[in-house]
Structure 1
Amino acid sequence: MAQRRAVALSRAQIIGTAVELLDTDGESGLTFRALTERLATGPGAIYWHVANKGELLDAATGAVVADALAAERAAGSPRDEVRAVALGLFDAIEKHPWLAPQLSAQLSRGPSGPVTPKIFESIGRHVRDLGVPKGSWFTATSALVHYVLGAAGQNAANARVVTSGKDRSEFLDAVSAAWAGLDAEEYPFMREVAAEVRDHDDREQFLAGVDLILTGIGAVHSLP
C-alpha cells in the first residue's frame, strides 16, 4: 500500500500539507509523523520526495512566497507594481505566522536560492523600470526588500501577541496609554505620537513606508 501511495503522492501534495500543518501547529508541529498521518501514507512515500525537515521547510517557504508573488493583479506603473509585490508579501506573512522567521533564516542561510532571488527579482525588475541607474539597482532593491520583510514580520509578531489574549483595539489602547504615560522630558516624541497608535491601520502604515522609500529613491536619482 505504501509503495502504491508513493507513486501517487506528489511533492506538491506533501508541501501543501506541510503548509497546513505549519499554519495550525507551527514549526514544532511539522513532523514527518504528523505529515504521514495527515496524508494517510507511510514515511517512505514522504522521503521519496523530501529528504528531511529542513528541505521541507524550505520548500513550504518557497511555495508560499511563489504564490504571493504570482497573485494576479492589474498592470500598473513600476511604482504600483512595487507596492503590489510588497503588499502580497505582507499579506502572506500575516496569513502564515511561521513564514517571517523562515524567510529571515533563508535570507541569511541560503541567499543563493531559491526564495531570495525570487523576492529580489520581483521587486528589482520594477526598481529598474523606475529608471534607477544600474549602479544603484541593488542598493535600492535591498532597501525595499529589507523594509518589506522586516515591517511585515514585525506586524505578524504583533498580531500573534494580540491573538494570545487581547483583541487588537485593547492591545493598541494599552500601548497608547503606556506611551502617553512616559516621562515627558525623556520621551517627548513618544508621548506626541501615542494617540496615533490607537487608530492606525497596519496595511496603510506599511504601504506608507514603501511609498517613503520609493519617494526617496526617486528624489536621489531625480526620477519623474
Structure 2
Amino acid sequence: MSRDSLTRDQIVSTAIRLLDEEGLDGLNMRSLGKRLDSAPTAMYWHVQNKDNLVRLAADAVWAEITLPDLTTMDWRTAAETMATGMYEMMNRHPWLVQAQASYLLYGENKSRHDDHVLAVYDNAGFTPADADRAAAAVFMFVLGNSVGAAANISLRRRLSAKGGDPDAKLAEALESATAVARHFPRLRARIESATVTGYNESPDTSFEFGLGALLDGIHRRLTTEKTA
C-alpha cells in the first residue's frame, strides 16, 4: 500500500489491534507497516513517531465509551454508567493502563469524555472544585481496578517470552504464594474457607462493590453540603 493510499485512521485502527494483541512493546513502525503492506517510512509520514501514534490510538479508544443522556438519567446512574464504560474499555485495551504511566496522552475524544463526566457532577449540584475531586476520585478508582488485568496480560507475555508454559509457571508461583500466606491467620482462614474460590483471585463483584461504596461517599458529601 503506498503512502498516498494510506490514511491516518487506517494506521491508528491497525495500531490498536496490534496493541491489543502484543502490547506496547510489540508496537513498532516495522510491524505496523507489515500489517498494512506498506513501508515503515509511510507510517512516519502520517503519524510522525511512535509516541504520537500511541497518543492517537489512546484517544481513539476513549470514543468507545457511551456518554449517557444527562437530561433523562440521574447523576448517580450516569456516574456509574460512565465509570463502568471506562472500566470495560480499559479491559478491552489493557495497554492503555501502561500507556497512562509512560506516554503523554490527550485528544478530543478523551476531552469530550472528561467534559461529560464533569457535567454529571455539575448537574448534581457539586461546586466546581468538588466536581473536579469527584471525577478524579472515580477515574483513579477505575484506573486502579484496571491494573490487575493489564498486569496479568503483561506477565503472561513476559513468561511466554522466556519459554515454557506460562500457565504452569503461574500455578507454581500461586502455590508458593499460598504456602507463604498460610502463616498468617486471616489469610489462612480465607484460603481454607469453602466460600473462597481461590487465593489471590478478586471476586467478580469487587469492582461493582467498590464503585458503589465510592459513589455512596460522594453522594453523602453532596447531601451534607446541601443541608449545611
| TM-score bucket of the superposed structures, by smaller chain | 0.7 to 0.9
More helix by share: 1
Q: Summarize deviations over 1:18-67 as a string: whole Å, max 9, x none.
A: 11111222222211111111111223432221111110111111111222
Letter in 2 for 1:124: L
- Alpha-carbon spacing, 1:193–1:78, altered in 2? closer, same or farther (3 Å): farther
Q: What corresponds to 1:52 in structure 2?
A: 49
Q: What corresponds to 1:219 in structure 2?
A: 220
- Alpha-carbon spacing, 1:90–1:11, altered in 2? closer, same or farther (3 Å): same
8 A contact 2:67–2:116 mirrored in 1: no
How far apart, in 1, do the equivalents of 2:101 and 2:109 lie?
11
Unaligned segments of structure 1, at least 5 residues: none
State whether structure 2 residue 121 is matched by structure 1 residue 127: yes
Q: Secondary structure at the match of 1:6?
A: coil
How far apart, in 2, do the equivalents of 1:32 and 1:159 lie?
22
Q: Secondary structure at the match of 1:198?
A: coil
Q: What corresponds to 2:146 in structure 1?
A: 152
Q: What corresponds to 1:198 in structure 2?
A: 197
Two-structure CA RMSD over aligned residues (Å): 3.5
8 A contact 2:15–2:32 mirrored in 1: yes
Letter in 2 for 1:101: Q
- Count of residue pairs brought into register by the alignment: 210
CA offset at residue 176 of structure 1?
Answer: 9.1
How far apart, in 1, do the equivalents of 2:25 and 2:94 lie?
13
Q: What corresponds to 1:209 in structure 2?
A: 210
Q: Secondary structure at the match of 2:73?
A: coil
Q: Summarize deviations over 1:81-126 as a string: whole Å, max 9, x none.
A: 22222222222222223111112334xx45x655764453242221
- Identity, in percent, stands at 26
- Alpha-carbon spacing, 1:42–1:161, altered in 2? closer, same or farther (3 Å): closer
TM-score (norm 2): 0.74
Q: What corresponds to 1:78 in structure 2?
A: 75
How far apart, in 1, do the equivalents of 2:210 and 2:18 lie?
32
- Alpha-carbon spacing, 1:121–1:131, altered in 2? closer, same or farther (3 Å): same
- Alpha-carbon spacing, 1:159–1:7, altered in 2? closer, same or farther (3 Å): closer
Q: Secondary structure at the match of 1:33?
A: helix
8 A contact 1:18–1:30 mirrored in 2: yes
Unaligned segments of structure 2, at least 5 residues: 160-165
Q: What corresponds to 1:89 in structure 2?
A: 86
Q: 132, 136, 145: which one pairs with 1:138?
A: 132
8 A contact 2:94–2:146 mirrored in 1: no
8 A contact 1:128–1:137 mirrored in 2: yes
